[in-house]
Amino acid sequence: MSQTGFLTYLCLFIACCVGYSEAFPSKLSQEAVNDRPVIGVLTQIVSDDVMKPFGRTYIPASYVKYLESGGSRVMPIRLTLTTAEYENIFKKINGLLFIGGAVDLETSDFARVAKIFYRLALMANDAGDFFPIWGTCMGLQLLTVLVAGESLLTDTLAENVALPLNLTTEAHSSRMFEGFPDKLMTALTQEPLTGNFHHFGVTVQNFQENKKLNSFFSLLSTNVAENGAHFISTIEGKRYPFYGVQWHPEVNRFQWDRKKNYPHSARAVQLSSLLAEFFVDEGNMTNTHYQYLITDCVLWNISTPFCQSQSCKNDTVSH
Ligand SMILES: *[C@@H]1O[C@H](CO)[C@@H](O)[C@H](O)[C@H]1NC(C)=O
Ligand SMILES: *[C@@H]1O[C@H](CO)[C@@H](O)[C@H](O)[C@H]1NC(C)=O
Ligand SMILES: *[C@@H]1O[C@H](CO)[C@@H](O)[C@H](O)[C@H]1NC(C)=O
Ligand SMILES: *[C@@H]1O[C@H](CO)[C@@H](O)[C@H](O)[C@H]1NC(C)=O
C-alpha cells in the first residue's frame, strides 16, 4: 500500500485503480436503474506531518461515510494520473464530490484534475447523460472558480461556527431541498444546523454581479461572516446537477471533536442524512453505462483506524 502513496486510514484497495480495463459497452436497457452507484472523490495532498507516514494523499473519513450512508460506494481519485486515465475513471463513476480543504483553486493539482472532471461532466450532461457534482466548502469555492473562470473569493471568515441558513425564495423550489419536511425547512432557518469552517468565500454581491455565476447557479442560501460580509452558502445548478454548500453536512454525523462546533442535534443529523441520500440518489440514474463497475477499486473494507490531525483514532469513539 505505502508505495501507492495513499493514506491507509481505511484499508483501501487502491493499487488496482491504476490499472484499467477498457470501458464496457453499455448493454443495459435505457430503463435500467443503477442501484449500485459509485461517487468519485478527489484526494488531497497530505501536508500534516502526523499523517505523512501513512501516505501522500488522503480523504477525510467523514466524507466517505457520508456518501456511503447515502447508499453509494466511494472511488478515491488520485491527483497524479494522466488525462486519459481520468477519462477512463469518469466512465466508471456516477458522480463526483469535491471535498473541503485548503489548496490553490487555480494552480494546484487538485484544481487541474477538478477541471478535467468538470469539463467531462459538462459534456456528459450536455449529451443527455446525467452526472452530478457536489462541492463542500472549498468544493463550493472550486465550483465557482470553474464556472466563473476566475477566483471571486474574498475574506468571509466563519471559522468553527454553526449557523442557521438564510434561505432565499429559490430554496423553496430547489431540487436539493425538495423532499425536506416542513419542520426541517423551518429549523434550517432558525437553528444552527450548518457547521462553518472557512476563511474565504464568495460574497452575495460578487455572486450577483458575475453573470457567469448567477446564470449558472441558483442561490439557495446566504450567511453573514465575522466581518459582516454576506456570503453565498448554498447553490444549485440551474441546468446542471451541480451543487455547492459552503458548510459541512458530513460533520453533523461523522465528526466528534468537542472543540469544534459540529451540529449533532436530531435535526442536524436529519439534514445530513437527507442531503447524502439526495446526492447519491442523483447518481442513481437510468440511462447509464456506469452500471458496469470495477467493484474492488472502491472503498469498502473499513476495518482499520483512520488518522486525523493530532491523533490516530479508532474511528468508532472519539472524546
Ligand atoms: C435507486 O433507485 C431504485 C429505484 O428507484 C431504488 O430501488 C434504489 O433503492 C435506489 N438506490 C439508491 C442507492 O438510491
Ligand atoms: C438574508 O438574505 C436577504 C437577501 O436574500 C438579506 O436581505 C438579509 O439581510 C439576510 N438576512 C440575514 C440575517 O442574513
Ligand atoms: C479487510 O482489511 C483487513 C485489514 O487490512 C484484512 O485483514 C481483511 O482481509 C480485509 N477483508 C477483506 C474481506 O478483504
Ligand atoms: C482501538 O482502540 C483500542 C482501545 O483504545 C486500542 O486498544 C486498540 O489498539 C485500537 N486499535 C487500533 C487498530 O488502533
Is 155 inside a domain boundary? yes
Per-residue pLDDT at 165 exceeds 50: yes
> What's the number of domains the chain is made of?
1
Is 312 inside a domain boundary? no
What DSSP state is assigned to residue 6? B
Per-residue pLDDT at 21 exceeds 60: no
**248 is known as an active-site residue:** yes
Look up the domain containing 282 and give its range: 80-297
pLDDT per residue as tens digits for the range 243-268:
999 999 999 999 988 899 999 999 99
Is 6 inside a domain boundary? no
| Residue 70 CA, ligand 1 centroid: distance in Å | 10
**Ligand lying nearest the CA atom of residue 299:** 3
Is 39 inside a domain boundary? no
Is 13 inside a domain boundary? no
pLDDT per residue as tens digits for the range 218-235:
999 999 999 999 999 999
Is 68 inside a domain boundary? no
Q: Which atom of ligand 3 is nearest to the CA of 301?
A: 1
Q: Which pTM was predicted?
A: 0.78
**Ligand lying nearest the CA atom of residue 1:** 3
Is 145 inside a domain boundary? yes
Closest residue by Cα to residue 74 from 61, 84, 86, 87: 61
Is 177 inside a domain boundary? yes
| Residue 299 CA, ligand 1 centroid: distance in Å | 20
**198 is known as an active-site residue:** no
For residue 216, give the CATH number of its domain: 3.40.50.880
Are 142 and 105 a contacting pair, CB within 8 Å?
Answer: yes
Here the cell at position 148 is 466563473
